[in-house]
Amino acid sequence: MPAEPDGPPPAATLPEATPPGATRYARVVVDSRLPQLDRLFEYRVPPGMTGVEPGVRVRVPLRGDRLTSGWVVETTDARAWEGEVADVEKVVSPVPVLQPEVWALARAIADRAAGGAADVLRVAIPGRQARIEKQWLAQERAELPPLPEAVEAAAVLPGLVEARRRVAIECAGGVAEITDAEGAPVWVGRWAISLASIARQAIERGEQAIIVVPDHRDQRQLRIALAAAIGDERVVELDARQKNPERYRGFLRCIDGEPIAIIGPRSAVYAPAPKLGLLAIWEDGDPLLSEPLAPWVHARDAALVRQGQSGCALVLAGHARSSDAERLVELGFLEHERLGAHRVRVLPSALTDDGRRVPAVAFRAAKEALATKPVLVQVARPGHAPGLRCGDCGARARCTSCAGPLGRSSRGAVPSCRLCGRLAAAWRCQSCRGTSLTEVGRGSSRIAEELGRAFPGVPVMVADGEHERLTIDAKPRMVVATRGAEPLADGGYGAVLLLDGDALLSREGLRVAEEAVRQWATARALAADGATVVLTGAGGATVTAITGDTTVPFAKAELAERRSLRFPPAVRTASVVGHPDAVAEAVEALAEIEHLDVLGPVPAPADVVKGSREGELERAIARFAYADGARVAGVARGRVLAAASRPRKPGAPPRLRIRLDDPEPFDGL
């Protein structure tokens, strides 16, 4: 920021604004999960203590001499708290890890989710690494090298960042070759190149870009594409999979405020970025973007709040439009864009008579493609046989300890429980005492064996959770992958076989069809131009979603159906779980809100809250309009607060838990 030509120096360069002798106070958010403590506490800065500045981590006494960690939100000369004021115990580190805009964001997100701000901060701020911090404090900031030459023709949606547009982007798919930081050619999804180009717009304006991805596979592609677009010195990764020191190093670079692109998993949406030009979410329909910790906020929702606060450009992108993004398009909040063209032929195919073999169309497509390129086979389940039946009476083989389904992880392996993993070495049928087992269904390794026999001489590899493979070269081969584990092939796949459509769609659940379409679109995007994609075992709207060249009509239809059923994302929800009394009180309080309806309460399933027994707790679901969100969250927070100060037995589940926009109860609908 330039100083006035002849004016005083900027305030930040003055040594210490407070005159000696005046008492300073610090308002601190304490790092606690208790709803009762979710507010600012005021402490005196003892004379002689330095470094108590907004954003730093401090230790403060809470209730007598018990010390708690917290972050300074602001410092003042005038105290607002009338009662007794304790002293800040010490400054843990001088680094302002809680930036003002992140505090404002955490507060707003917590309020919207009826949760505590400290819970959000725990996700937003990585644990301190003293060694890394020391390096960061000592190092002098090097000037960033100039941006790589821009390729005019490669510009994607020019002016998007400058105009602060809010856009839902459907990316057409396909792969492309670019040059990595060392000058070697690498293949990445075209989506990554598009997002990198948009991010460059922010960097060119001297602003930051945050791009959130569901997993490290996408992050890898995006990192490569960004390195090509803006130089790898300007790419900061905030990956929870990284070693803690690496993660903290990246986090500290964000605080520097340079024009950089920040990429990472769902928590990256909270990265400090004082000059945020672009906030983008890749694959916003991916359930991985939903935070599994309280207050269970989806990165898309966090991004919407953050965009509202910072006014930056917003992008929700994916190979398939999510019903949530489509809702925002229909509302006029987001514009629709479609990027690129991907020429593939998608052939729907019914299951064959015996339902066991690869259909003839798929066989032909694979055979043709294998002459020059690899072939991707997407299957629903890992392992050898996902299910087992009694060979004598046909009863489903179940785990003796948890009643979960037994399966076989590899040919001839001892059956094991797919839920708890226990081995069932001496299995006997519960109903007929029989000991022979028949395999039901085919997992990735069994399909790989079958394909190996069907295509003699063609190498077959498996890619699933256990055999992770990010990329493969362009040599012809069969790649059998579970959903989400598909490797990226140099040059793209010559054919993509989406087997097991029926298995994907047979589950019950609000988002089953939408999720299937998303996973198919993801696999389809890995195909080379001109490739054939075969989809088996699916029907109806999901098929046209994937054979056509846009998923938008499908998302529209999904949304329309959810509207008629009053299901999310047409409405918001609050799931209320706890002691029957507490649930009844909460439901009563929520029912005061107009147009809010309540399903239940009904006995809650076991373990809906960790350690709860079947029928011990009750659950109710409230549905309400987006416009009533603040009121619902306020009432919910009030009930949780009231329930929290009531006694409960040690080890017992909490008396009341309210989760807003909890997808879980709708999984089985």
Partner DNA sequence: AGCACGCCGACT
Partner DNA sequence: GTCGGCGTGCTC
Which residues lie near DNA (CB under 7 A)?
34, 36-37, 40-44, 61-64, 81, 83-86, 644-648
Three-state helix/strand/coil letters over 359-417:
CHHHHHHHHHHCCCCCEEEEECCCCCECEEEECCCCCECECCCCCCEEEECCCCCCCEE
**CA nearest neighbour of 220 among 468, 478, 28, 494:** 468
Considering the complex, state which of residue 88 and residue 489 has its C-beta at the smaller distance from DNA: 88
Q: How far is the CB of 601 from DNA (least distance, A)?
A: 21
| Parallel/antiparallel/unpaired status of strands 261-264 and 208-212 | parallel
Closest CB to DNA among 77 and 177? 77
CA distance linking residue 61 with residue 664, whole number of Å: 39
Give 160's DSSP letter. Answer: T
From the CB of 41, what's the least distance to DNA, in Å? 4
Q: Give 436's DSSP letter.
A: -
Q: Give me the least distance between CB of 57 and DNA, in Å please.
A: 17
Q: Based on CB atoms, which residue is closest to DNA, 81 or 626?
A: 81
Is the four-CA dihedral 227, 230, 234, 239 of positive or negative sign? negative
Is 596 in a helix, a strand, or coil? Answer: coil
Residue whose CB is less far from DNA, 84 or 354: 84
CB atoms within 10 A of CB 392: 15
Q: Fill in the DSSP letter of residue 298.
A: B
Torsion of CA 146, 152, 155, 158, to 10 degrees: 90
67 neighbors 61 (Cβ within 8 angstroms): yes
Confirm if 599 and 583 have CB atoms less than 8 A apart: no
Check whether 171 is labelled as a binding-site residue.
no
Closer CB to DNA, residue 59 or residue 477?
A: 59
Q: CB neighbours (10 Å) of residue 93? A: 15
Q: At closest approach, how far in Å is the CB of 651 from DNA? A: 9
Nearer residue to DNA within complex by CB, 68 or 410: 68
Q: How far is the CB of 617 from DNA (least distance, A)?
A: 16
* Complete DSSP assignment for 514-549: HHHHHHHHHHHTTEEEEEEEEEES--THHHHHHHSS
Nearest approach in angstroms of CB 99 to DNA is 22
Pinpoint the alpha helices (H) of 79-159: 100-113, 117-124, 130-138
Residue 543 main-chain phi, psi, to 5 deg? -70, -45
429 is known to lie in a ligand binding site = yes
Q: Could you give the CA distance from residue 405 to residue 529 in angstroms, rounded to a whole number? A: 40
**Quick one: 43 or 624, whose CB is closer to DNA?**
43
Select 86 or 512, whichever has its Cβ closest to DNA. 86
Burial of 216 (0-12, 13-18, 19+ CB in 10 A): middle
In terms of DSSP H, where are the helices of 257-394? Answer: 299-310, 323-330, 360-369
The reply to whether 417 sits in an annotated binding site is yes
Q: Residue 471 CB, nearest distance to DNA (Å)? A: 47
Distances (CA, A) of 206 to 200, 264, 277: 10, 20, 9
Least distance CB 107 / DNA (angstroms): 17
Establish whether 254 is an annotated binding residue.
Answer: no
Report, in Å, the least distance between residue 640 CB and DNA: 11
Is 390 among the annotated ligand-binding positions? yes
- Residue 100 CA to residue 105 CA, distance in Å, equals 9
Q: Is 402 known to sit in a ligand binding site?
A: yes
Nearer to DNA, 183 or 647 (CB): 647
**Residue appearing with tokens 């000059």:** 275
Q: Using an 8 Å Cβ cutoff, are 571 and 623 in contact?
A: yes
CB-wise, 34 or 432, nearer to DNA? 34
Considering the complex, state which of residue 85 and residue 395 has its C-beta at the smaller distance from DNA. 85
CA atoms of 188 and 165, how far apart (whole Å): 26
Residue 206 burial by Cβ neighbours in a 10 Å radius (0-12, 13-18, 19+): exposed
Q: Rank residues 44 and 477 by Cβ distance to DNA and give the closer one.
A: 44
CA distance 4 to 594: 54
CB of 631 to DNA, least distance (A): 24
Q: DSSP state, 52?
A: -
- Residue with Cβ nearer DNA (63 or 141): 63
- Residue nearer to DNA on the CB measure, 347 or 644: 644
Q: Which of 267, 328, 274, 260 is nearest to 104 (CA)?
A: 274
Tokens of 547: 């054979």
Q: Tell me which amino acid residue 592 is.
A: E
Minimum distance from residue 162 beta carbon to DNA (Å): 43
> Is residue 563 classed as helix, strand or coil in its secondary structure?
helix
Task: For residue 354, give the amino acid letter.
Answer: D
State in angstroms the smallest separation of the CB of 576 from DNA. 18
Binding-site residue positions: 390, 393, 399, 402, 417, 420, 429, 432
Binding-site residue positions for Zn(2+): 390, 393, 399, 402, 417, 420, 429, 432
